[in-house]
Structure 1
């Protein structure tokens, strides 16, 4: 099973700190609407040093992993 970002409010450009700027109401991860507008980039710093697997036992390429490199197994350190 693949894991993807969904059309939830936290991935919308109109979302800021649990608040929808369009509808002027508090929202969370379970909310979305017809005015959903996906952020252009949730995080644009994808490389080994921002990966949760970097320098851990779960890193698929521990001998090759280095700053500024990226692999298909990249996982964010934090999901905001």
Structure 2
């Protein structure tokens, strides 16, 4: 299985609000990935700078613009 940030569960059509994968009928988290990923065709407002692991780091692509609530194509989930 390939690991890709863009193919994580919370970008997938099969990910439900109860953190269940509708494809695999399995409890998952936002960090999981799989090869049956089907991209969600809408913006997820929870994927903003404050929830991004890159905020305030050297690898943030927009350090001068980063702010709570800003959406970005380079967003990466914070991992506990």
| Higher RCO, Cα 8 Å, sep 6+ | 2
Larger Rg: 1
**TM value normalised by structure 1:** 0.50
**TM value normalised by structure 2:** 0.50
